[in-house]
Amino acid sequence: MPGILRHARQTAEKHVKAAEDAKSDPKILGRHKDNPPKVQLLPSGNTPRRPMIEFVDVGGKFIDVKEHRARARESARRRSIKDKNAQTS
């Protein structure tokens, strides 16, 4: 039994790592590959008493990879149907 639990834990860790790696896949993020997060500070308003607003580029941290792949497949399917209809016209 301990061996089965150890194997299940290792498999789960592999899946979590693969899911995290898929979020930084260049195909998903487009032109943003291997760039560190960008931080941009902007003044908030005209008054000097207000703090600066900080924008941090988090890349693909909050991307749902399964949804993104499903949308890409659906887009490819629609494109092939559109191309097929254009050829028959």
Instruction: Select the highest-mean-pLDDT range: 29-33, 55-59, 80-84.
Output: 80-84
Sorted by where each begins, the domain ranges of the chain are 2-88
Residues 24 and 59 sit within 8 Å (Cβ to Cβ): yes
pLDDT tens digits, residue range 2-56? Answer: 899 999 999 999 988 888 777 777 676 665 545 555 666 666 666 667 777 777 7
The token duo for 84 is 């097929």
| pLDDT value, residue 19 | 81
pLDDT at position 65: 81
Question: What pLDDT is recorded for position 74?
Answer: 95
